[in-house]
Amino acid sequence: MKEFGYSGKNRRRVLIVDDEEINRLILGRMIAEKYDPEYAENGEKALELLQDPSKRYSLILLDLWMPVMDGFDLLGRIRSDEELSNIPVIVMTSEKAAEARSIKLGADDFISKPYRSPEVIKARCDRIIQLYENRKILRSAEKDTLTGLYTREFFNEYIIQIDTFDSQMDMDALVLNIEHFHMVNEMYGRSMGDKVLGCVGEILRELFGDSVFIACRPDADYFYMYISHRDDYDTVFARFNSELSAVTDIPVIRYRVGIYEHVEKSNTIEERIDHAKLACDGVRGDYTKPISFYSKELHEVDLYHERLVHDIDEAIFNRDLIVYYQPKYDITGDTPRLRSAEALIRWKHPELGMISPGDFIPLFENNGLIQKLDHYVWAEAALQVRKWKVRHGISIPVSVNVSRVDIYDPDLKNRLSSIVKENKLTTDELMLEITESAYADDAKALIEVVEQLRGMGFKIEMDDFGSGYSSLNMITTIPIDVLKMDMKFIRNMNRDEKSLKMVELVIDIAKFLKVPVVAEGVEDASQVETLKGMGCDVIQGYYFSKPVMPQEFEEFIIEEVRRRKKAEKK
């Protein structure tokens, strides 16, 4: 046990089984200095001792030729018993012919009769006990106790063995994830959650038992598999779904599977699993298609995303990220008035050209890099507000996005406060947009942060309101200063009665909360008239302007300055 740092003083118990008393006593004296010997005169008596739950043996020294039950019979019974098979056996014999039969039955070593060297016998006992105890420790580390599947390290090692000894075998890598597993724990209790995970391991072994198959559970609700290729995954996982529901009594347990077929063995094990995981993550939340296959196209998208992740720091350093501004107009009077703007990020890549925000915003939201973008936009927007203020003598507040990851940043308030102070602005000149969906994650914690920001003077806009996350009850407790309507309602309101009713409802909610409402995505005059008639306060969209660079946005400021001067003269 030295390899594993064991330094205990407990003496191991050794069972000596021999029908001749003199042989039992000789062996007992030889090992008594280090071990506690116990004795049995035949296999039947030995079996009684071995099955006594109060006794725990570390080694059996076994004679072969005995009355009642001989050593061969006892050895066979030991190796066929799940508990007893963990005890090593050294056979004592003077017959070379008996050794082959003993090996087949599971003997671990031999001691020749007559016994001549106590040191050799003690050394052999030490070696066999140590080997078995080390192996037992390794086995305990080899398997995940909850599922019976391999741990990640042993999973990787067995893949290497499969690839080495069956190099021509066509293999697939699979990643399975239980969707929203935390909800199982919350709704049914952690014991049911553990049962689900254990059942997943059992069902996977059952379903793929006819294949070359190994699996592990590297994380709470993820399962990795390496399987000889097959073409019936749809059928197999349909069975998986029904069997899992049947044994857990949970009607619907959603899962998703990513499959990398015909793995390239020149790829590392990590790369193979990553390919399967990419396919798995590609169907996140898509309950119509739980299985996805890794493809060349998916690989190209993966490489593209990797490139974007790799280049983000350089883009920030070189200012390849450009902040555009889209004006928001107050339409409550006879003439629209420039009220504020929204900051929107664009990426002008030196090699890839203009990159759509739809390519990198969701990517960075998923991996946490969105925080870097947000910090960049906040600083750029605040600087731009100051420049316009100095140049034109007019303050045009700008709305910036605050992502979910920002909300839980303990340095959020200090960072925003510093940006405002550095640019000699007031807190109401940098408005903070938080999407409605963010309130659904942890409403209590988010509301606490938002209240602190409002206490500092920041105005909070709820973005994408109506996208389906907030309850009417929750909206009354959420601290906001502006309600920004989900643009899909605006897009369809003049041709879809339901969308029109939703617009009316959102505007009524804003009136009830006594906050202005912003309609985003307004594109034509008919939409403007409809919204104005309903009592909408502010409009944003292509009707007035697409998002533009700072120099172009200045034209709107100049025009607003003219309008105000003209109004003053009247």
pLDDT value for 130: 80
How many separate domains does the chain show? 3
Question: Is the domain of 194 the same as that of 235?
Answer: yes
pLDDT band (50, 70, 90) for residue 2: very low
Domain end among 294, 326, 355? 294
pLDDT at 61 exceeding the cut of 50 = yes
Domain end among 275, 294, 313? 294
More confident residue, 103 or 399: 399
Q: How far apart are CA 145 and CA 137, in angstroms?
A: 13
Mean pLDDT, rounded, for 318-329: 96
Mean pLDDT, rounded, for 148-170: 85
pLDDT value for 303: 84
Any residues with CB less than 8 A from the CB of 90 and at least 6 apart, and which? Answer: 59, 60, 61, 62, 107, 108, 109, 110, 111, 124, 125, 128
Nearest one of 506, 321, 326, 494 to 398, comparing CA atoms: 326
Q: How far apart are CA 348 and CA 356, in angstroms?
A: 9
Q: How far apart are CA 260 and CA 177, in angstroms?
A: 15
pLDDT value for 5: 33
**570 in a structural domain:** no
pLDDT at 542 exceeding the cut of 70 = yes
pLDDT at 138 exceeding the cut of 70 = no
Q: What is the CATH number of the domain that holds 449?
A: 3.20.20.450
pLDDT value for 137: 54
Domain end among 294, 324, 339? 294
pLDDT at 6 exceeding the cut of 50 = no
Beta-ladder partners of 111 = 92
pLDDT value for 9: 47
**71 in a structural domain:** yes
pLDDT value for 149: 87
pLDDT value for 369: 92
Mean pLDDT, rounded, for 368-379: 94
pLDDT value for 132: 77
Question: Is the domain of 223 the same as that of 360?
Answer: no
Question: Is the domain of 270 the same as that of 347?
Answer: no
More confident residue, 224 or 108: 224
Global pTM reads 0.61
**147 in a structural domain:** no
Question: Is the domain of 413 the same as that of 525?
Answer: yes
pLDDT above 70 covers what percent of the chain? 92
Q: Backbone dihedral region of 403: left (phi > 0), alpha (psi from -120 to 50 degrees) or beta?
A: beta
SS3 state at 317: helix
pLDDT value for 129: 84
| Residue that the structure tokens 């990851």 belong to | 405
More confident residue, 424 or 472: 424
Q: Average per-residue pLDDT in the chain?
A: 86
Range of the domain at 438: 303-555
